[in-house]
Amino acid sequence: MAEPPTLRMPKALQALGFLARELPMTAHAQRKLGDVFSISVSGLPPLVIVADPALVKEVFTSDASDLRAGEGNAVLLPLVGASSVLLLDQAAHMRQRKLMLPPLHGDRMRIYGEVMREITDDEIDSWPLNQPFSMHQSTQAITLRVILRTVFGIEDGAQMADLERLLPKLVDLGQWVTMIPALQRGGGRASPWGRFLRAREQVDAILFDEIGRRRLDSEATAERSDVLSLLMQARDEDGEPMTDLELRDELVTMLVAGHETTATTLAWTFERLLRHPKALERLQAEVTLGEESSYLDAVIKETLRVRPVLNYAMRRLASPTRVGAYDLPAGWQIAVSLVLVGLREDLYPEPLAWRPERFLNRTPETYGWIPFGGGVRRCLGASFAQYEMTTVLRRIVERCDLRAAEPASEMRKRRAITFVPARGAQVIVEQRRAAAANTVTA
Ligand code: HEM
């Protein structure tokens, strides 16, 4: 049975290298071993890393009963709950996906544009002039408010303030206690697990209360356009609605999957854009004319290519499976590397250079541009995220003259499973235009 090649080094060293210097190590392994190789992280079954579009297609289109993503996400259970689409596989997974897809689909996103612009305007108005600040912190505030208003449908100011305070705490603590299961004990006030449980209790109380209120006023709920209200009206193939618990779990899932990812991609977009003055000039010229800008879209696609927030789309093998020339036993994990695929020289000449022109008037290759993963597990929020990112970026560029706080590029820093700009994407606003001027209602 042919197994994928692996680096010749002790397993403990491989594990250490993978944890401490994952990106250089996998790039080195790809150069030495090719587009499929395995890495052993002590105590776990080998991880097979895949970086070739043809094999990516094989993995993404394989029978979902052989390749499972839900099992691999099981550690997230305390945070997202047992009905989360992230944790399910096969029929149960497809049921949740079918219920969630229509509210998050394509053109529907336009109805959220006004709210997205309003939230961005408020954030812009709070920025200091001629003083560095972290764009990442700002995009985190924007994307959280956007999710709360458009996905959760929160309108009440006090409830909004409570959730803005509690949700980052829940997700932050949740990342620690799910990554280090040994922390899941003791429930004392000071322990991480105790603090996590209390934050979860408080968040759940607000969410169940909100769901209950909307159920009571079903006529008003039917008129609403937020994602939660639409999910409450959705029916599965047997005509069954989602339960309160399912609704709660999917709300937290969309927050966990959609908040930090979108905020970080926006932060990287500014980190890259502000170091490419010609691109910034072109973008500014296009948005000021108020035209639909395909360049804007290309700027985001190129940023997602060189700085995908997540490195892997993971699948666990439920049965022995052949991938390319290799036979992989049940229990192994396949990690499609979003980073390595994005940096392929054959698809993207001079792959490290950030050049939005690559995507101008060109649809990316299905399996060669995969920052949102693929197949039956492809990101459910991809349309939402892309629409939000173009709306926020357009608004900021329209209203502000920006520059990078320092000329040197920011390195990638690992934060839980994401890679973020190491200094928080430090920027300086040199000039801010009034909200009313140049307003484009696209
Ligand atoms: C730039 C922003 C985002 C990026 C880069 C991103 C990326 C990803 C990736 C790589 C996956 C795994 C795909 C796979 O395994 O093949 C995923 C899954 C998912 N994402 Fe996103 N995401 C983003 C924003 C969002 C948003 C805004 C939402 C919700 C509103 C969302 C909801 C989800 C859900 C529910 C899944 C699980 C899908 C499933 O298992 O069937 N994501 N995302």
Specify the pLDDT at position 440.
47
Per cent of the chain over pLDDT 90 is 82
Residue with structure tokens 């408080």? Answer: 202
Question: For residue 254, how far is its CA from the centre of ligand 1 (angstroms)?
Answer: 8
**For ligand 1, mutation pick of 59, 379, 383 (most atoms within 8 Å of CB):** 379
Residue ranges covered by each domain of the chain = 11-153+224-432
Q: How many helices and strands (H and E) does the chain possess?
A: 16, 12
Q: What is the per-residue pLDDT across 391-425, written as a single tens digit (0 to 9) for each?
A: 999 999 999 999 999 999 999 998 888 899 999 99
Say how far apart CA 395 and CA 438 lie, in whole Å: 10
Per-residue pLDDT at 160 exceeds 60: yes
> Could you confirm whether domain 11-153+224-432 is CATH 1.10.630.10?
yes
| 265 phi and psi angles, rounded to 5 deg | -65, -40
- Binning pLDDT at 50, 70 and 90, where does residue 1 land? low
Q: What is the per-residue pLDDT across 228-251, written as a single tens digit (0 to 9) for each?
A: 999 999 999 999 999 999 999 999
- Binning pLDDT at 50, 70 and 90, where does residue 438 land? very low
pTM confidence score: 0.96
Q: Helices (DSSP H) in 6-134: which residue ranges?
A: 11-20, 22-33, 53-61, 77-80, 90-100, 113-125
**Ligand 1 pocket, residue 374 CB under 6 Å:** yes
| CA nearest to 244, candidates 200, 209, 196, 197 | 209
**Under 8 Å between Cβ of 313 and 373:** yes
**Ligand 1 pocket, residue 386 CB under 6 Å:** no
Question: For residue 382, how far is its CA from the centre of ligand 1 (angstroms)?
Answer: 6
Residue with structure tokens 């854009």? Answer: 273
Question: For residue 385, how far is its CA from the centre of ligand 1 (angstroms)?
Answer: 9
Per-residue pLDDT at 59 exceeds 70: yes
Q: What is the per-residue pLDDT across 182-216, written as a single tens digit (0 to 9) for each?
A: 999 887 888 999 999 999 999 999 999 999 999 99
Per-residue pLDDT at 436 exceeds 60: no
How would you classify residue 248: left for phi > 0, otherwise alpha for psi between -120 and 50, otherwise beta? alpha
**For ligand 1, mutation pick of 372, 387, 391 (most atoms within 8 Å of CB):** 372
Ligand 1 nearest atom to the CA of residue 147, by list position: 30
Please tell me the residue having the least CA distance from ligand 1 atom 2.
Answer: 262
For the segment 67-90, the average pLDDT, to the nearest whole number, is 94
Please tell me the residue having the least CA distance from ligand 1 atom 41.
Answer: 377
Query: What residues does 402 pair with on adjacent strands?
Result: 429
**Ligand 1 pocket, residue 263 CB under 6 Å:** no
Say how far apart CA 378 and CA 393 lie, in whole Å: 24
Question: For residue 309, how far is its CA from the centre of ligand 1 (angstroms)?
Answer: 11
How would you classify residue 189: left for phi > 0, otherwise alpha for psi between -120 and 50, otherwise beta? alpha
- Binning pLDDT at 50, 70 and 90, where does residue 442 land? very low
Name the pairing type of β-strands 333-337 and 47-50.
parallel
Q: What is the per-residue pLDDT across 102-125, written as a single tens digit (0 to 9) for each?
A: 999 988 899 999 999 999 999 999
Which strand (E) or helix (H) includes residue 203?
helix 192-216
For the segment 132-144, the average pLDDT, to the nearest whole number, is 98
Average pLDDT value over all residues in the chain? 93
